[in-house]
Amino acid sequence: MITLTGDTRTGRSIMADCAPTVKKPHLELGGKAPLVVFDDANLDAAVESAVAGGFINCGQICIQATRMIVQDTIYDDFVRKFVERSKQIVVGPGKRWESDMGPMVSESQRKSTEEYIQIGKEEGANLLLGGGRPKGPDFVNGYFVEPTVFADVEQSMTIAKEEIFGPVIAIQKFSTMEEAIDISNDVIYGLWSSVWTKDIYKAFKVANALDYGSVMVNEQIAMQSEMPHGGFKQSGGGKALSAYTLESCTREKHIYVDLTDTVERGWHPTVFGTALKPQ
């Protein structure tokens, strides 16, 4: 067995390496988590968790709330509040207590993120915040990127479909429940998602329809050790956390023992056509 926590491209390579000897892969791969907000949700609570879940770890986490899918009747209010709250994020060196968001892990990851930002601009998304590198002596050492927010994102755009793994948020609009579900599921990933509504019927209907291994209702990141964590589609297979982890990493074996000394067995007629006669 081979276990991996990594991106989907690496997971595909691992699966190919497993094939010749038919090893079992346990893969926790990429994500493109939707945060779906209906117009009956607590808007302030949704915005607060969206900002925290979107910029946690500088966006370098597979369960990042990278797509905000918001009902059209509250879309403008959500965008305004989200941008205002995102402006309050303090970017700085991780060793400072006042820093909310530190640098990216490497120059290559920053470069990749900046390429996605440029693609978002070129494809017509509306850049409302960030998009560059913070200026000043505190940012000379480290791979910093500003908290970046795109609005009016269409599902056909690259930043709506591909995992960026950086502090870049795409805000999208929907009208009906069915449209919200379709937009959410229209990616290759299926790891993490959340739904925001006060209607419990709507919450469960959407949660059941979302093709994701975890669905939070009125919460974004509430990872619990006793609950299984793992994705569908190209987010991998197998579960981490909870007792399911032990099952994923366990090889079941069946041993059958008969001590009756019975000569004629109940299944013998299926082979011989008639019951065997004792010699």
Give 215-249 pLDDT, tens digit per residue: 999 999 888 888 989 999 999 988 888 888 888 88
Whole-number pLDDT of residue 278: 57
Whole-number pLDDT of residue 279: 54
CATH among 3.90.226.10, 3.40.309.10, 3.40.640.10, 3.10.200.10 for 30-229: 3.40.309.10
Out of 18, 48, 58, 62, the active site residue is 62
Three-state secondary structure of 164-191? CCCCEEEEEEECCHHHHHHHHHCCCEEC
The Cα 50–Cα 101 span in angstroms is 15
The Cα 86–Cα 147 span in angstroms is 7
Whole-number pLDDT of residue 271: 82
Could you confirm whether 62 is annotated as catalytic?
yes
Q: Which two tokens stand for residue 62?
A: 């597979």
Q: At what angle do helices 75-86 and 43-55 cross, to 10 degrees?
A: 50
* Average confidence (pLDDT) over 266-270: 83
Give 76-134 pLDDT, tens digit per residue: 999 999 999 999 999 999 999 999 999 999 999 999 999 999 999 999 999 999 999 99
Residue-range domain boundaries for the chain: 30-229
The Cα 78–Cα 65 span in angstroms is 15
What mean pLDDT, rounded, does the chain reach? 94
User: What residues contact 87, with CB distance under 8 A and at least 6 apart?
Assistant: 129
Give 24-45 pLDDT, tens digit per residue: 999 999 999 999 999 999 999 9
Report the run of H or E that residue 50 belongs to, with start and end.
helix 43-55
pTM of the predicted protein model: 0.90
Q: How confident is the model at residue 268 (pLDDT cuts 50, 70, 90)?
A: confident
